[in-house]
Amino acid sequence: MKIYSERELCERFNDMLNDCYEPIRFGDLSYSPADVLKSVDKIAWREGFNNWLDAEGFVDAPDNRYGFVYQSEIEDEEDDD
């Protein structure tokens, strides 16, 4: 079972946001949507991240290990027991 770090999943979430939305432009400057959201409203970014984790099927790693795993991998291991 692969354990994903929060940093790794944050990067994936930010990539998803940046793929879904156009860059934010102010004159000649351009900013990534993920950076703008996180800078302007950290709570909205965190809620979006948590919702994305749920939608993607990630859950806290079992056995008090730090990180996240796919729910389906936990269920597969339980079926093997």
Render pLDDT for 14-50 as a digit per residue (tens, 0 to 9): 999 999 999 999 999 999 999 999 999 999 999 999 9
Name the residue among 11, 22, 21 with its Cα closest to residue 49.
11
pTM of the model: 0.81
Q: Collapsing DSSP states into helix, strand and coil, what is residue 25?
A: strand
Ramachandran bin of 79, using left for φ above 0, alpha for ψ from -120 to 50, beta for the remaining angles: alpha
Contacts of residue 11, defined as CB under 8 A and 6 or more positions apart, other chains included, come to: none
Sign of the dihedral through C-alpha 43, 69, 54, 64: negative
DSSP secondary structure, 67-81, as one string? SEEEHHHHHHHHHH-
